Amino acid sequence: MRAYRAKVVEPIHLPDRDEREANIEEAGYNVFNLDSEDVFIDLLTDSGTGTMSDEQWAAMMRGDEAYAGSDSFKRLQESVADVMGFENIVPAHQGRGAENVLYGVLVSEGDYVPNNTHFDTTRAHVVNNGGQPVDCPVDVAPDDPFQGNLDPEKVRELADEVGAENIPALVVTITNNSMAGQPVSVQNLRDAREVADEIDATFVIDACRFAENAYFVQQREAEFEGSSVAAIAREELSYADAIVMSGKKDALSNIGGFVGVRDDELFEHAKQRGILYEGFSTYGGLSGRDLEAMAVGLREAVTQPYIESRVEQVAELGDLLLDADVPIYAPTGGHAVYVKAEEFLPNIPREQFPGQVLVGELYREGGVRAVELGEFAFPGEDRPQLVRLCLPRRTYFREHLEHIAETFEKVGERRDELSGLEIVWEPPMEELRHFSAKLEPVE
């Protein structure tokens, strides 16, 4: 049951079929090139696209826009200390700004950085600082409740191979976005803490979806049955030396982020780098009202009614898709449903981008915008051809989820008529091609 009702609404509209056909063709079969007003249900990301509460909007009116020593910053500091247990924070304009601040201080040329699985911006910041990102996920069994976990043994093997002195930081991303949003157990965070101590590395948690992760722990980890999500959230993060946070996720805000650190010296370094790249250390590239929105959002994120409706809505979409015979990654994770495009469109070979074909058809059939995470986004990487359906927080209702499932059914009915896609234009940097490349149906 949704634990909120609408107070402000934004009209959305489904362009008719001819318009949708024209729009997707004009967008070069790339939904990043669509205008948002032409999108009926937008599942591109859960980042900054959710609905804020009345309390958040009210707090925004109190935004203190002082350059230095803003009250709004103090309120954010208090909120982070209460909810996440970090007293020292460096604000940043969003998660990747926080990554730049922290990894710029921790990582240097020739270093290695293990992570349960790097999210793309994390990977890019490690590389940008001369480091080498190394994914160390557990080898999962299908019934494993914590498929996002880190494999501590892989970290130990890496340390033996490259030398512990070349591993400045160990990162665990909760939930594990690049592993279908799967959760990480508290026990795994304890194990990660232990290996970080063994190799003398700074233990960083990418806390973007820390509240969603805490909900899974409450539901699935026996030790925490009956504990509050708020208590679990503090427990999870208590093992880390530092956190990087995107306020666009579990701070339920449209923009913002921060780094949290325990060590005073590391804090001082991060603060100086923050001033250089983000802005003075009490606003970090944000307006005072943005700091307020995060301060309130963090507290809301760890309340049971909120987090339960959030994660259960993703599961609800997953169930509707399974009923419609759509192959998905199950069980669903915290923020999105991941569809196995190769299984849904078995006639489209990998080099003709089955995921991107599906994304285009979802728009053509139902005005639904999803995102491809396969050969198009990650050229040449041996990974499953997935399509991510991300649910913005507190935004869509059951009817929208049903529309998404019906859209899949319609695409499925036409699967034998669909042709693959080829790239006809791409930008110079291959890593960024999926944001702007143009495609055409293969003849």
Binding site for ligand F0G (CB under 6 A): 45, 47, 94-96, 119, 121-122, 173, 177, 206, 208, 246, 248, 257
Task: Output 48 or 152, the one with its CB closest to ligand F0G.
Answer: 48
- The SS3 of residue 421 is strand
- Is residue 51 a contact partner of residue 393, using CB atoms and an 8 Å limit? yes
Distance between CA 73 and CA 255 in Å, rounded? 15
Query: Which residue has tokens 């036409």?
Result: 414
DSSP-derived secondary structure for 270-293: HHHHHHHHT-STTTTT--HHHHHH
Measure CA 32 to chain center: 17
| Closest residue by Cα to residue 179 from 381, 373, 401 | 373
Distance between CA 425 and CA 30 in Å, rounded? 11
Smallest gap from Cβ 77 to ligand F0G, in A, equals 19
Smallest gap from Cβ 285 to ligand F0G, in A, equals 11
- The SS3 of residue 315 is helix
Task: Output 48 or 420, the one with its CB closest to ligand F0G.
Answer: 48
Q: Which tokens in the block code for residue 35?
A: 């205008």
Give the residue at shortest CB distance from ligand F0G. Answer: 95
Smallest gap from Cβ 251 to ligand F0G, in A, equals 10
Give the DSSP H/E element, type plus range, for residue 307: helix 304-323
Task: Output 92 or 186, the one with its CB closest to ligand F0G.
Answer: 92
Task: Output 392 or 420, the one with its CB closest to ligand F0G.
Answer: 392
Distance between CA 222 and CA 242 in Å, rounded? 27
Smallest gap from Cβ 97 to ligand F0G, in A, equals 7
- Is residue 432 a contact partner of residue 423, using CB atoms and an 8 Å limit? no
Q: Which tokens in the block code for residue 277?
A: 């790249």
Smallest gap from Cβ 347 to ligand F0G, in A, equals 29
Task: Output 53 or 246, the one with its CB closest to ligand F0G.
Answer: 246
- Is residue 329 a contact partner of residue 278, using CB atoms and an 8 Å limit? no
- CA dihedral over 105, 67, 92, 191, signed as positive or negative: positive
Task: Output 206 or 241, the one with its CB closest to ligand F0G.
Answer: 206
Smallest gap from Cβ 46 to ligand F0G, in A, equals 7
- The SS3 of residue 3 is coil
Smallest gap from Cβ 111 to ligand F0G, in A, equals 19
Smallest gap from Cβ 349 to ligand F0G, in A, equals 27
CA distances, 47 to each of 38, 144, 197, 335 (Å): 19, 27, 33, 10
Task: Output 117 or 166, the one with its CB closest to ligand F0G.
Answer: 117
Task: Output 274 or 420, the one with its CB closest to ligand F0G.
Answer: 274
Task: Output 245 or 418, the one with its CB closest to ligand F0G.
Answer: 245
Measure CA 318 to chain center: 18
Distance between CA 433 and CA 308 in Å, rounded? 36
Smallest gap from Cβ 93 to ligand F0G, in A, equals 8
